[in-house]
Amino acid sequence: MPRFFGFVRDQYTALPMPPAPADIAQQTFVVTGANTGLGFQCAKHLLSMGAARVILGVRSVQKGEAALAAMRQETGRHDAGEVWELDLQSLDSVENFGRRLDTLDRLDALIANAGVVMTNCQIVEGIELSLLVNVVSTMLLAFRTLPKLHESARNFKTTPHLVIVSSNSALESNMKGAVSPAWGDVFDKLSEEKGFGTFTQ
């Protein structure tokens, strides 16, 4: 129980906003899961720091547009930001998003923040949903993004970034015991309803 209360406390801890390490006025950023929570704050901060282009990758375009309107209001960047559809529950959607990224003139960072926490077992695309969204689709998106990041590094002499947001739950002392039975056939084992557990997933 102390771990839970520590988690709740951390959600309300005010942290200082880091200053921009460099001029990002010409740079393009993609933030997934940007219509709420950490993704929203990240995208808003990039806008406030003066990023040329901030793309919100969201499952619901309507919610994304509402979030972008709020960001514009709070930052005063009324002509900045874009909303692109990205549903990590669909590998086709990830591929379509990746092809759209290929059309950008540059990409300086992907902040892969989108994720889900499931309380019951759901199978989508043959994989348990939280594994599909948090692992498979996130990694597919990362791999689809790497060529554009490399190209941007060459063309603009910059250091692009690939950031995958995660939690510290993998570092918990009891996690090894929870996942060790899955060694050897991870996706099949963790996609079985019998062994489903929110924390383990």
Domain boundaries, given as residue ranges, for the chain = 23-168
Q: What pLDDT, in 10s, does the model give residues 8-36?
A: 777 777 777 777 667 899 999 999 999 99
Angle at 129 between CA 126 and CA 134, to 5 degrees: 115
What CATH code is assigned to 23-168?
3.40.50.720
What does the alpha-carbon distance between residue 9 and residue 71 come to, in Å, rounded to a whole number? Answer: 25
Residues 152-160: contacts with CB within 8 Å, 24+ apart? 152/106, 152/107, 152/108, 155/106, 156/26, 156/106, 156/108, 158/27, 158/108, 160/107, 160/108, 160/109
Q: How large a percentage of the chain has pLDDT more than 90?
A: 63
* pLDDT recorded at residue 68: 98
Judge whether residue 93 has pLDDT over 90.
yes
* pLDDT recorded at residue 12: 77
User: pTM for the whole thing?
Assistant: 0.87
* pLDDT recorded at residue 64: 98
Q: How large a percentage of the chain has pLDDT more than 70?
A: 90
End-to-end CA distance of the chain: 19
